[in-house]
């Protein structure tokens, strides 16, 4: 395994709450994917849910080494949950292209995400690694 990047972000949930109050759907639609919106709107504390996802996007942009520059936009990074509930990040657009360009030939990239909140804070950590293609194929057969 090769570590390609790591990012961490922490945000005050009240900051996201103020953005939701001030900008509403304009803010939501500019920052979040449809899946993230659907998930967060079902939560009792929607601001905390949106804040965790915001922190995950920031952490992932740091792990990519781009920030929100070089064609990487917030909606290119979407928090999704695997069937068991574990969160991960799906990359599209410029973020996906950048990840592909930083992944060595013969390897496949893996993204690990952990998110948490403890009012008034939300935090995310992203680890991007690469494993050899043959190892990835073996892991697929086992799971």
Binding-site residue numbers for Mg(2+) are 9, 58
Residue ranges for the known binding site are 9, 58
Residue 121: half-sphere exposure toward Cβ, Cα within 13 Å: 6
How far is the C-alpha of 78 from the C-alpha of 11, rounded, in Å?
17
How far is the C-alpha of 12 from the C-alpha of 18, rounded, in Å?
10
- The maximal CA–CA distance of the chain, rounded, in angstroms, is 50
């Amino acid at each position: 395994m090769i570590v390609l990047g790591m990012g961490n972000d922490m945000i005050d949930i009240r900051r996201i709450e103020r953005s939701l109050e001030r900008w509403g759907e304009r803010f939501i639609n500019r920052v979040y994917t449809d899946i993230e919106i659907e998930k967060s709107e079902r939560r009792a504390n929607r601001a905390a849910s949106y804040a965790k996802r915001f922190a995950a996007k920031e952490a992932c942009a740091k792990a990519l080494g781009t920030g929100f520059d070089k064609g990487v936009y917030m909606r290119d990074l979407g928090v999704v949950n695997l069937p068991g509930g574990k969160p991960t990040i799906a990359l599209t657009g410029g973020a996906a292209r950048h990840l592909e360009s930083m992944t060595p030939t013969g390897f496949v990239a893996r993204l690990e995400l952990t998110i948490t909140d403890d009012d008034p804070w939300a935090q995310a950590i992203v680890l991007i690694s690469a494993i050899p293609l043959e190892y990835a194929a073996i892991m697929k057969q086992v799971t």
